[in-house]
Structure 1
Amino acid sequence: MRINFHGAAHTVTGSQHLLEINGKKLLLDCGMYQGKRSEAYARNLNFHYDPKSVDAVILSHAHIDHSGNLPNLTKQGYEGVIYATHATKDIASVMIADSGHIQESDAEFVNKKRAQRGEPPVEPLYTKEDAEEVAGMFVGVKYEEAFEPIPGVVARFYEAGHILGSAGVSLEIEEKGKQIHFWFSGDIGRYKMPLLRDPVLPTRADYMIMESTYGDKSHSDPELAFLEFKDVVKRTVERGGKVIVPAFAVGRTQEIVYHLNQMMYNGDVPRVPVYVDSPLAVKASDIFKKHLDCFDEETRKFVEESRHPALDFNMLSYVRSVDESKALNERKDPMVIISASGMAETGRVVHHIRNNIENPRNTICIVSWQAPDTLGRRLADREPEVRIFNEIYKRKCDVATIGGLSGHAGQDLLVKYATAVKDSVKDIFLVHGEEKQAMTLKGLLKERGMSRVHYPGMHDGVDVL
């Protein structure tokens, strides 16, 4: 058996790990590398193996840095099956199609600039049509149900608690007369997060590929973060303002909706209109409602006691048209608007910020990490003026930043996850983390007697038999 690390190695994006077993090739994830435009395009376009030679794909979850390069894989000749949980199958189909639309739009924008300079046009990495073809290749599998992706390998999905449908992957492998238990963590979630069940720890593994995103720090309690959010909503609404929340369409949006549902049901905040204004978030929310089996016991209890769904309540509206979205900016009454993108760079949320940033009654609530040079980061840094659509706006509104809502496990849970297989594991390979985070985690595991921990480089290969 050979493990090849073709993505999320020495970086936090582009998950892609190729296993060679019994003369077959099994790909774990096929994520899009996200970085500088020119570098990302080249990395995503050029595989370090022949896609035609891959026999099966297993997808841990739907986030684009794990699923987003599947259309390019199929464009270049992959014709097999993509195994995923049923919820991942549904969400990934929507997210990849949305990504295809973005690829086309980005190429169209770049080509206008290139034409002005007399340069030849570039092709999109893939199109929405390419992405829609991938949807037909998914095979949905239940959690903990055994399936055989390639001969000699029995696979199972276990709850990862990261986003709806996310999973750790267990592989029971028979090769050359030997039995191997292999575990791929995917992205590990957190305890006590809304809606989702807690992540399942591995019970046994000879070899494990594990994420290390927050290997250098633990998170604060998510319940404290939502208490902060409650205070933001309460004080903004009481002064007659709007709360604008830039939020990622899958996961964070649904968590916030659920907590607003609880807050208003319990009378913790005034009952005001709540709008989810993002086409992708609306589609994703519809998928969440189809997969109630993925919700945790607390959510199911709330639904039973309050007698209405977790992601639907009287004050909530899902905005489906551009005209409906524009109408929100004409209104002056208090409300909450949750809209994509999470870093306020694109989408309808930019228009909501532009129309509300100069009103001191309003609050822009930042609920996730913001990359440098994004509008979200400039708002989080409380810059007095920001440029939106090439015009300068004075920031007169309040800005609230809520930490502690990351969907990734913190250092404490990563250590617990790895030490769960301390008695059986021969090697652990840390991926999906920058060097500082991974090496800090490696040091902590060494202190606990786990010396066989590695941090493989991009395109490294390791023989484990």
Structure 2
Amino acid sequence: MKIIHHGAVNGVTGSCHQLDYEQHSAVLIDCGLFQGEDSGPSLAIDFDISTITALIVTHCHIDHVGRIPYLFAAGFAGPIFTSQASASLLPLVIEDALKVGVTRDQKIINACLSLLNKRITAVAFNNWFYLPSNHNEPTAKARLQRAGHILGSAYVEIDIGKKPNTHRVVFSGDLGAPHTPLLPSPKAPYKADTLVIESTYGDKNHQGRKERTQTLKTVIEKAVADNGVVLVPAFSIGRTQELLYELEQIIHSAAKNSPWRNLEVIVDSPMAANFTVEYRNFKTLWDDEAKKRLAKGRHPLNFAQLHTIDSHKEHIAVINYLSNRKQPAIIIAASGMCTGGRIVNYLERFLPDKTTDVIFVGYQGRGTLGRDIQTYGPSNGYVHINDRKITINAAIHTISGYSAHADQNGLIKFVTGMRKKPTLIKIVHGDENAKQALAQKYKEILGEGTEIEIAQLSDGL
């Protein structure tokens, strides 16, 4: 058995891990896009895929699936195993990625989507399935377990060999934070012999649910007091839906004469709108709290004050509308790290205004516009957007509790909750400080019985 890392080792993007589970047979876990400082000059698949028999997709964020079209171009023709919800989301994500980063030629896009739809195999959570083998008989099987990160997200358990000598490898994908709205928290697997785990917040712990909701409410109330706009960069899948869920609760709980009752919430992202529909379609995956709200006749993702913007023409009209009026509004738009998408146009227009507030609710990768605004905004610095120097007069806020990633406590609990602890943990998907901090915690808790490694690019186990 060998594990080779093709991404998410020098940062938090480009997740792609290869598990060689027998001679001449291997499986890829994710095939994601590099972003920010992690970005390289080439998107082409630069590693040998001749032994790759299958791809397993943990979830549909672009840093986990964005290079799938390039995998096709390299000649990959195997199945793509993913959860039932992710199977519905994946074509939407890939179509958008192609339009934004590759081509607007609909024939090329349709050809890629046709390939994708033929390759996708939707599997139910907690159901074992065999991985294809280049030999006569499969020697490895896998199953997906709920990761609680976004709709359909999973961690992967892979058993190699036959009982009683099986070796279990667990790939965490991205683990969800505890007590998030809509989705249940991930439960630790029974065992892992080898664990490959993310470390995005390996050195930090989030605010509690009540604290972060109160922080969001307080920040927005202060922000709208001067009738300015509140800009919230958010990923189309996951973060947007969680924010809507929380905002609906704040509005529902507000007094009838409260300003919250008249505050417009604008989602300016066709992708986010499509994904919100999918969240509603997969209500069976919601947690008990969300299901109880539905049972009471509430619509946490489709409330009266919510307005969705579709076309680019409408998008430009909204920016002009907000520029010329004196009423507050909350705008949620992608991308979450401000690396592209409609949020960039809002930032270009409204960052110079003192009445603007920007609320970051998720991780901002190194080299992204979002990280630059976080860094230089508090001192009224500047950023460059569309080759223009934009002075930041807006107020900048960060609420870490809304991250869809597990914090340090969650990452530790995922391991300590196992009945049979891993003998090897490989740490990926984090900045250097986060990886080192998490590695030290694991060493303190698990002792000498577990080897802790910080994974390196294309290293092999």
Partner of 1:400: 397
Give the letter for the 1:7 counterpart. G
Is contact 1:234–1:270 with CA below 8 Å preserved after alignment? Answer: no
Q: Does residue 233 of structure 2 align to residue 246 of structure 1?
A: yes
Q: Percent identity?
A: 32
Give the letter for the 1:267 counterpart. A
Q: Deviations over 1:309-361 (max 9, x none)?
A: 22101111211122322232324233221112223343222333344445444
Q: Which ranges in structure 1 are unaligned for 5 or more consecutive residues?
A: 109-123
Partner of 1:459: 458
Partner of 1:145: 127
Is contact 1:71–1:130 with CA below 8 Å preserved after alignment? Answer: no
Is the alpha carbon distance of 1:103 and 1:130 closer, same or farther for their aligned partners in structure 2, counting shifts above 3 Å?
Answer: farther
Which residue, out of 185, 193, 200, partners 1:213? 200
Is contact 2:155–2:170 with CA below 8 Å preserved after alignment? Answer: yes
Is the alpha carbon distance of 1:451 and 1:426 closer, same or farther for their aligned partners in structure 2, counting shifts above 3 Å?
Answer: closer
Q: Distance in 1 between matches of 2:5 and 2:233?
A: 34
Partner of 2:311: 321
Partner of 1:340: 334
Which residue, out of 215, 218, 223, partners 1:228? 215
Q: Does residue 90 of structure 2 align to residue 92 of structure 1?
A: yes
Is contact 1:98–1:128 with CA below 8 Å preserved after alignment? Answer: no
Secondary structure, counterpart of 1:178 in structure 2: coil
Q: Distance in 1 between matches of 2:278 and 2:406?
A: 24
Secondary structure, counterpart of 1:261 in structure 2: helix
Matches within 5 A, 1:413-424: 413-421=410-418, 423-424=420-421
RMSD after superposition: 2.7
Is the alpha carbon distance of 1:212 and 1:362 closer, same or farther for their aligned partners in structure 2, counting shifts above 3 Å?
Answer: closer
Partner of 2:295: 304
Is the alpha carbon distance of 1:45 and 1:246 closer, same or farther for their aligned partners in structure 2, counting shifts above 3 Å?
Answer: same
Give the letter for the 1:48 counterpart. F
Partner of 2:161: 174
Partner of 1:193: 180
Q: Which ranges in structure 2 are unaligned for 5 or more consecutive residues?
A: 133-137
Q: Distance in 2 between matches of 1:154 and 1:372?
A: 36
Partner of 1:279: 270
Is the alpha carbon distance of 1:161 and 1:402 closer, same or farther for their aligned partners in structure 2, counting shifts above 3 Å?
Answer: same
Matches within 5 A, 1:301-450: 301-305=292-296, 307-328=297-318, 329-331=320-322, 332=325, 333-371=327-365, 374-380=368-374, 381-382=377-378, 383=380, 387-391=384-388, 395-421=392-418, 423-448=420-445, 449=447, 450=449
Give the paired residue count: 440
TM-score, normalised to structure 2's length? 0.87
Is contact 2:233–2:332 with CA below 8 Å preserved after alignment? Answer: yes
Is the alpha carbon distance of 1:384 and 1:163 closer, same or farther for their aligned partners in structure 2, counting shifts above 3 Å?
Answer: same
Is the alpha carbon distance of 1:75 and 1:440 closer, same or farther for their aligned partners in structure 2, counting shifts above 3 Å?
Answer: same
Bigger mean CA deviation after superposition, 346-355 or 318-327: 346-355
Is the alpha carbon distance of 1:171 and 1:371 closer, same or farther for their aligned partners in structure 2, counting shifts above 3 Å?
Answer: closer
Is contact 1:5–1:18 with CA below 8 Å preserved after alignment? Answer: yes
Matches within 5 A, 1:68-107: 68-104=66-102
Partner of 1:8: 8
Give the letter for the 1:41 counterpart. P
Is the alpha carbon distance of 1:180 and 1:240 closer, same or farther for their aligned partners in structure 2, counting shifts above 3 Å?
Answer: same
Q: Distance in 2 between matches of 1:364 and 1:447?
A: 39
Partner of 1:54: 52
